[in-house]
Amino acid sequence: MRPFQLVGHVVLELLATVGRVVLFAGAGLGHCVRPPFYFRSLGRQLIEIGYYSLPVVGLTAIFTGMVLALQSYTGFSRFSAEGAVANVVVVSITRELGPVLAGLMVAGRIGASMAAEIGTMRVTEQIDALTTLSTNPMKLMVAPRLVAGLTMLPLLVIVADIIGVFGGYLVAVYKLGFNPANYLQGTFDALQAEDVVSGLVKASVFGLIVSLMGCYHGYTSRGGAQGVGAATTNAVVSSAILILCFDYILTELFFSR
Partner 1 sequence: MSERPAKIRIRNLRKSFGRKVVLDGLDLDMGIGESLVVIGGSGTGKSVLLKCVLGLLRPDAGSISIDGVEVVGASSAARDAINRKFGMLFQGGALFDSLPVWENVAFGLLATGRLRRREARAAAMAKLAQVGLGSDVAGLHPAELSGGMQKRVALARAIAADPEIIFFDEPTTGLDPIMADVINDLIVAITRDAGVSALSITHDMASARKIANRIAMLYQGKIIWAGPVADIDSSGDERVDQFIHGRADGPIKMAIRA
Task: Catalog residues that contact partner 1 under the rule CB under 8 A.
Answer: 36, 121, 124-126, 128-129, 131-135
Among the listed residues 206, 109, 105, the one whose alpha carbon sits nearest the alpha carbon of residue 153: 206
Contact 64, 93 (CB under 8 A): yes
3-state SS class at 178: coil
Q: Which is nearer to partner 1, 106 or 123 (CB)?
A: 123
Contact 156, 52 (CB under 8 A): no
Q: Whole-number minimum distance, CB 21 to partner 1, in Å? A: 20
Contact 160, 102 (CB under 8 A): yes
Ramachandran assignment for 80, one of left (phi > 0), alpha (psi -120 to 50 degrees), beta (any other): left
Q: Whole-number minimum distance, CB 129 to partner 1, in Å? A: 4
Q: Which is nearer to partner 1, 180 or 224 (CB)?
A: 224
Q: Which is nearer to partner 1, 133 or 193 (CB)?
A: 133
Q: Which is nearer to partner 1, 87 or 135 (CB)?
A: 135
Q: Whole-number minimum distance, CB 126 to partner 1, in Å? A: 5
Please confirm whether the linkage preceding 99 is cis (ω < 30° from 0).
no
Q: Which is nearer to partner 1, 136 or 204 (CB)?
A: 136
Rounded to the nearest 10 degrees, the angle between the axes of helix 224-255 and helix 112-123 is 140
Q: Whole-number minimum distance, CB 128 to partner 1, in Å? A: 5
Q: Whole-number minimum distance, CB 32 to partner 1, in Å? A: 17
Q: Whole-number minimum distance, CB 224 to partner 1, in Å? A: 11
126 Cβ contact list (under 8 Å, min separation 6): 120
Q: Which is nearer to partner 1, 126 or 204 (CB)?
A: 126
